[in-house]
């Protein structure tokens, strides 16, 4: 539904000092001169780091680096990826580097050793980094400390044994709503997006509605995040398909077709998800056959907006009928 890694990076960019604190275990240290560094654009053979922070710790400049992983790394072993980041960051900035990876899903990161080792006599290599599995972090202590940058992640953290899952989510929403942020809708919307990794979206929206009266705005935020992911996935799928088709037909044609197909598939999914969340659980079943006949991306974008604004199934059906005339 949503781009969880992107949502995580946005929060880190809003409050980088909280992530520096997490890296150092919230020790009593002097953290000053926080600077968020925009990573260079990735190349074909080099990934872009998620979050790079330059900070002065006890009077010494260092680099604090974070990667966000929704699931375990499937393409390249995470320890090898982290080793690559660490070496490039040291080479680029000439400073001490403190690298960290945060795993979002409860079942992710269990096998990450927190180090890369090459055991070749005379050519040994060892790089270490910290592994944070949110499910292992004491969520209650985070709620009590109220670090603005970490509160949206608390639904994914370890809750007190005596607290039910729904009660914990409610507590997380209440605490996040109590902090002073510039855009509360986006802030709570990010909590909702991240929380949907372990909670049903409807449960999250209901609790946000009961505790903050922000449900309509948060619903739109969900939809906007889903639309953005659709664009990104469409581009990614287009590139992949373009490479494959380029062997026979040319990379340019393949990328164009891939982007179009990926964007259409994501747009259809986004419309059906919005209808299900905002209207009725069976809405997707009702409208899916008709929607699958539509190829025009502009028309699908119009229907996506209509799904967000519709108050009833009839409202959306009317727009769908008008578009077909």
Residue range 134-175, pLDDT digits in tens: 999 999 999 999 999 999 999 999 999 999 999 999 999 999
Cβ contacts of 140 within 8 Å, gap of 6 or more: 159, 160
37, β-bridge pairs: 52
* 295 within some domain: yes
Q: How many CA atoms lie within 13 A of 263 on its CB side?
A: 19
Q: What is the pLDDT of residues 265-288, one digit of tens each?
A: 888 888 888 888 777 777 778 888
In a domain, 48, yes or no: yes
Which residues partner with 131 through β-bridges? 101
Residue 222 lies in a domain: no
Out of 160, 179, 213, a domain closes at 213
Average pLDDT value for the chain: 82
Single out the residue in 213, 242, 272 at which a domain terminates: 213
Q: Are residues 253 and 178 in the same domain?
A: no
Pair (102, 4) in one structural domain: yes
Is the domain of 125 the same as that of 179? no
Specify whether the CB–CB gap between 94 and 60 falls below 8 A. Answer: no
Q: Which of 213, 246, 278 is the last residue of a domain?
A: 213
CA 16 – CA 229 distance, rounded (Å): 24
Residues 74 and 117 in one domain: yes
- Do residues 59 and 124 both lie within one domain? yes
Same domain, 38 and 168: no
**Residue 7 belongs to some domain of the structure:** yes
Does residue 173 share a domain with residue 74?
no
| Tens of pLDDT, residues 216-244 | 455 555 545 544 454 455 545 554 555 45
| Domain membership flag for residue 219 | no
Q: Do 72 and 155 sit in the same domain of this protein?
A: no
pLDDT at 279 (0 to 100): 75
Q: How many domains does the chain have?
A: 3
Report if residue 37 sits inside a domain. Answer: yes
Residue 218 lies in a domain: no
pLDDT range class, residue 296, cuts 50, 70, 90: confident
Neighbouring residues of 234: CB distance < 8 A, sequence distance ≥ 6: 258, 259, 260, 261, 262, 263, 264, 265, 266
Same domain, 145 and 131: no
Give first-to-last CA distance, the chain, whole Å: 31
Whether the CB-CB separation of 259 and 235 falls below 8 Å is answered with: yes
The pLDDT score that the predictor gives to residue 44 is 42
Clarify whether residues 206 and 261 are in a common domain: no
Q: Domain of 168?
A: 140-213
Same domain, 156 and 232: no
* 223 domain residue, yes or no: no
In the predicted structure, residue 206 carries a pLDDT above the cut 60:
yes
Looking at the whole model, is its pTM more than 0.75? no
The pLDDT score that the predictor gives to residue 203 is 87
Helix orientation angle between 201-212 and 251-278, rounded to the nearest 10 degrees: 60
> Tens digits of per-residue pLDDT, 132-141?
999 999 999 9
The answer on 260 and 165 residing in a single domain is: no
């Amino acid at each position: 539904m949503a781009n969880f890694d992107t949502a995580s990076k946005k929060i880190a960019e809003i409050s980088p000092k909280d992530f520096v604190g997490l890296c150092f275990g919230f020790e009593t240290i002097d953290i000053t001169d926080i600077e968020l560094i925009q990573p260079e654009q990735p190349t074909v053979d080099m990934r872009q780091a998620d979050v790079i922070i330059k900070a002065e710790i006890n009077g010494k400049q260092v680099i604090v680096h974070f990667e966000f992983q929704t699931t375990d790394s499937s393409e390249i072993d995470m320890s090898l990826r982290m080793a690559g980041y660490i070496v490039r960051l040291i080479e680029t900035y000439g400073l001490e580097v403190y690298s960290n990876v945060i795993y979002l899903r409860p079942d992710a990161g269990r096998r990450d050793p927190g180090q890369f080792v090459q055991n070749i006599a005379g050519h040994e290599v060892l790089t270490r980094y910290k592994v944070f599995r949110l499910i292992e972090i004491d969520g209650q202590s985070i709620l009590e400390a109220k670090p603005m940058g970490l509160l949206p992640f608390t639904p994914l953290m370890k809750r007190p044994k005596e607290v039910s899952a729904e009660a914990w989510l409610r507590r997380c929403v209440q605490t996040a709503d109590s902090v002073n942020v510039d855009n509360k809708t986006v802030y709570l919307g990010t909590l909702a997006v991240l929380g949907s990794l372990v909670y049903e979206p409807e449960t999250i929206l209901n609790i946000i509605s009961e505790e903050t009266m922000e449900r309509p705005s948060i619903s739109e935020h969900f939809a906007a995040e889903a639309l953005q992911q659709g664009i990104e996935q469409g581009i990614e799928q287009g590139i992949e398909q373009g490479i494959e088709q380029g062997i026979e037909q040319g990379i340019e044609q393949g990328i164009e077709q891939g982007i179009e197909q990926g964007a259409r598939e994501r747009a259809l999914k986004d419309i059906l998800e919005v209808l299900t969340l905002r209207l009725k659980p069976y809405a997707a079943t009702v409208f899916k056959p008709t929607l699958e006949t539509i190829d025009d991306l502009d028309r699908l974008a119009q229907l996506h907006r209509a799904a967000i604004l519709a108050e009833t199934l009839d409202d959306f059906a009317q727009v769908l009928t008008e578009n077909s005339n």
